[in-house]
A and B are shown apart, each in its own frame.
Chain A
Amino acid sequence: MEAVVASAYGRNKIHPQKFALWVACAGILMMFAAFTSAIIVRQAAGNWLEFRLPDIFYVNTVVILLSSFSLHTSYLAFKNGRTSLYRGMLAVTFALGAAFVVLQYLGWQMLAGIGIELTTNPSGSFIYVISGVHAAHILGGLGALTLAMLHAFLLPHKVTPARKLRFELTLTYWHFVDFLWLYLLFFFTMLY
């Protein structure tokens, strides 16, 4: 894809693609805001099965937080020319991200294990659907990380503006889905 063909008058403080990503994040956030408001509205209507969120979801929170940290380390290493740290931390991030998805799946199995299946009660259904949609966004992030790894391992380590921009886009998105999970966990913890 052609980078911005239309870059006009050069006074922009923020690159248009970065800005567009932020705008897109706002859209995604609205989607989840709708889900969490739906929980509140639905819970107020009664017939709401209460249960405790399995601990594995908290383990997962640590995993995703660590992955944000490792990706940021990788980004700094990329900028400072420390190739092995850059590549290593990128791979670690990918592994942590993949682990997050697997752990979410285990979390759903544990939920089913305590008798909260997808169709048992809307209170449980919300957890499955919302964490599932979030996991889909993580998978998108893993796709971006795959691309970043291809760049990191196949290309010589050079800090070009285009590569820096690409990395920053990946980094921003990854931090965003991480934050998104914290936001969701807040609701899951407060309302269940």
Chain B
Amino acid sequence: MANTAIKPVVTEEDLLIEEYGYDDHFHEHHHGDKYQSNFITTYIFSQDHKIIAKQFLITGMFWAVIGALMSLVFRLQLGFPEENMAWLRPVLGKWITINDAGIGTLAPEFYYALVTMHGTILVFFVLTAGLSGTFSNLLIPLQIGARDMASPFLNMLSYWFFFLAGLVMFFSLFLSTGPFSGGWTAYPPLSALPQASSGSGAGMTLWILSLVFFVVSVLLGGINYITTVLNLRTKGMSMWRLPLTIWAFFVTAILGLLSFPVLVSGFLLLMFDRSMGTSFYLSEIFIGGQALDHVGGSPILYQHLFWFLGHPEVYIIILPAMGLVSEVLSVHSRKPIFGYRAMVYSILAIGFLSFIVWAHHMFMSGVNPFISNFFVIFTLIIAVPSAVKVFNWIATLYGGNIRFNSASLFAIGFVSMFISGGLTGIFLGNSAIDIQLHDTYFVVAHFHIVMGVAAFFGMFAGIYNWFPKMYGRFMNETLGRLHFWGTLIGAYAVFWPMHYLGMSGVPRRYYRFDSFEAFGQFATMNQFITIAAIATFAFQVIFVVNFFYSIWKGRKMTTRNPWGATTLEWTTPINPGHGNWPGKIPAVQRWAYDYGKDGKEFIPQIKPVEEGESEAH
């Protein structure tokens, strides 16, 4: 690495690290840079957590674009069902059927495939791997003061299993029978019987294979994150001095470790039902005029196993975003995070509660109403730690010397989205109200705002804030703000009207509504939503362009700590080499949120507590 050869200007941080740091003799061993000796080991099969983070991020962005484009196609269908779609034929091929009049129509089975793939891709590939994979990898070693992950090799495998999962899923898009089309939850019997729909055969086989690879990736990553946080913290970095980002990634990894194996179990039983003739999920079924051999299976069993993962999964998505937002809000409002311990306890509480609420996805699946009561209560209790967090974010902003830049705007936008989407969660968490709202656009609006858009906002806040640490350059600020305002207004324009659709009973997952008299009145609203979705997508193009342009042409970073942040990642060189710190590992002397204390704008974590300093953490 060229940058370690040039001795950088000695700064106050260097002196502090030299004086108080911990010497692990890292750079005296030859092994240190062995695995970064050529192009392949540096950029492709890299074991450096910073490179792996970028791999996760860029792969996630690729999938985000694919998933978003899919949603635009089915939004076109919903907004303009009569419109000629023949122009999409070069891309979608036979899935656009053209009638005698030359009018192209989206094939209904492909509409379902698009919806299914959109959900699968966004939930797993973008908001799990792209979000938690990126920032856990980037920030855990840098913020806790470690040279790398506990096992860089498993970390590399984690990315490549994700890549493999993506490859299999991508391949399934081009099957002649189409990708899986039974919904991202893959409920049997649609997922269990190859003859149930055109995507239930080879499409489903590849879908399940892809997700098993994906789970391996999540588990390898998660084992590493947990081990690294617990074992490799630098001297002085007690758990109570960890930045909230690390707490969030840590709890996220625990949730993944405990819930994804359950999904594998569920999938394994599903595979046996598909190919070995067992009846775990398949009951007496007539299909194509024929009775199947299967007897005594329970499709509800699959739902239990699926949602035991599925509900923690939404917190796997949102917790990292919460962690990033907490950090960004505190840094850019130049104030300590309000209620640090309450924030940690609420992350833990959310993590714990996420395991005992899964059946609120099944209120309408024939679950005993008395059991539902239990799940209603725990679901509503999640509002408490969530509200604590929202209160603390707002209190952090209150009276702060706020810098409104792309990162902090997205963090504030996150809080807005989380409130809007969280409130409708209280409606849906009640089993009685859910009778009306279940499987309507109200649900679509709720989860898109609270875990889709909000998680994206957290991710964007993280990208704008840590882009300088990743690439040594800044993203363009004007384009960033444009991106923010376009996305904020656009996302609300897309999802807000869906609440009204849902309250009027418009069901989700329908191919078209114009043949239903009751829903005909919403035709213009559906058009509006579609137009808003296209506009919002256009603003994401701005982001992608800004991102890649800035990697090579962005404004260069000239100081190490451009945001004036306290955490350890900003004490590394502008382009940190392998091992992150050129000399000793910094020792931590205080918590991560000493902003605006004793007349100082900020005090880095490596600075020892001075005599007469007010309250020290």
Asked if A17 lies at the interface with its beta carbon under 8 angstroms from chain B, I say yes
Contact of B261 among A1, A28, A48, A121 (CB under 8 A): A28
Q: Closest CB-CB distance, B284 to chain A, in whole Å?
A: 10
In Å, the complex CA distance between A41 and B305 comes to 10
Bound CA–CA A1/B156 (angstroms): 12
Chain A residues 20-38 with CB under 8 Å of chain B are 20, 23-24, 26-28, 30-35, 37-38
Inter-chain CA distance A93–B235, complex, in Å, is: 42
From known contacts A30-B262, A121-B296, infer whether A6 and B146 are also in contact, taking CB-CB under 8 Å: yes
Chain A residues lying within 8 Å of B293, measured Cβ to Cβ, are 119
Residues of B within 8 A of A186 (CB): none
CB pair A6 B280 closer than 8 Å: no
Is B234 an interface residue when CB atoms closer than 8 A count as contact?
yes
Minimal Cβ-Cβ distance residue in A for B280: A122
Q: Give chain B interface residues in 1-60, CB to chain A under 8 Å.
A: 22, 24, 26, 31-32, 34-35, 47
**Is A17 within 8 A of B151, CB to CB?**
yes
Residue B259 CB within 8 A of the other chain: yes
Number of interface residues of B (CB under 8 A): 61
Residues of A within 8 A of B232 (CB): 6-9, 16
* A-side interface mostly: helix
- Mask, A7-18, CB within 8 Å of B = 1, is 111111010110
Q: Which residues of B lie under 8 Å from residue A26 when comparing CB positions?
A: 257-258
Please determine whether A9 and B24 come into contact, CB atoms closer than 8 angstroms: yes
Q: How far is the CB of B572 from chain A (nearest CB, A)?
A: 14
- Check B152–A122 contact: CB distance below 8 A: no
**Listed stretches B186-194, B264-272, B435-443, B464-472; interface member:** B264-272
Question: Looking at the complex, which one of B22, B222, B264 makes contact with A9 (CB distance below 8 Å)?
Answer: B22
Query: Are the CB atoms of B150 and A35 closer together than 8 Å?
Result: no
Tell me which residues across on chain B come within 8 A of A6, comparing CB atoms. 141, 146-150, 152, 228, 232
Given contacts A41-B301, A122-B297, contact A34 B265 (CB under 8 A): yes
Contact present for A8 and B308 (CB under 8 Å): no
* Chain A residues with CB under 8 A of B151: 1, 4, 16-17, 20
In the bound assembly, the distance between CA atoms of A23 and B257 in angstroms comes to 8
**Contact B35 A16, beta carbon cutoff 8 Å:** no
- Decide yes or no: A5 and B259 within 8 Å by CB, A23-B226, A38-B301, A129-B269 being known contacts: no
Q: A2-B152, A9-B235, A122-B280 are in contact. Are A19 and B230 (CB under 8 A)?
A: yes
- CB <8 Å contact, A119 and B278: yes
Q: Are A27 and B278 in contact (CB-based, < 8 A)?
A: no
Interface status of A80 (Cβ within 8 A of chain B): no
**Interface flag for B561 (CB, 8 Å):** no
Say yes or no for B346: interface residue by CB 8 A criterion: no
Report the Cα distance A76→B259, complex, angstroms: 36
Q: Does A98 sit at the interface, judged by CB under 8 A? A: no
Q: Is the C-beta of A45 less than 8 angstroms from some C-beta in chain B?
A: yes
Q: How far is the CA of A118 from the CA of B150 in the complex (A)?
A: 42
Q: With an 8 A cutoff between CB atoms, is A106 at the interface? A: no
- A25 CB, min distance to chain B CBs, angstroms: 10
Could you say which of A9, A32, A45 has the most chain B C-beta atoms within 10 Å of its C-beta? A9
How many angstroms between the C-alpha atoms of A158 and B455 in the bound complex?
53
Contact of A5 among B32, B264, B265, B295 (CB under 8 A): B32
B479 touches A (CB below 8 Å): no
**Contact (A4, B261) CB under 8 Å given A20-B224, A121-B296, A122-B278:** no
Q: Is A47 engaged at the interface, CB distance under 8 Å to the other chain?
A: yes
Could you tell me the distance between the alpha carbons of A5 and B26 in the complex, rounded to whole angstroms? Answer: 8
Q: Nearest chain B CB to A27's CB is how many angstroms away? A: 5
Extra 10 A-B pairs, beta carbons < 8 Å, given A1-B151, A23-B222, A31-B262: A4-B150, A5-B148, A9-B234, A17-B151, A20-B224, A20-B227, A24-B223, A27-B257, A34-B266, A122-B280
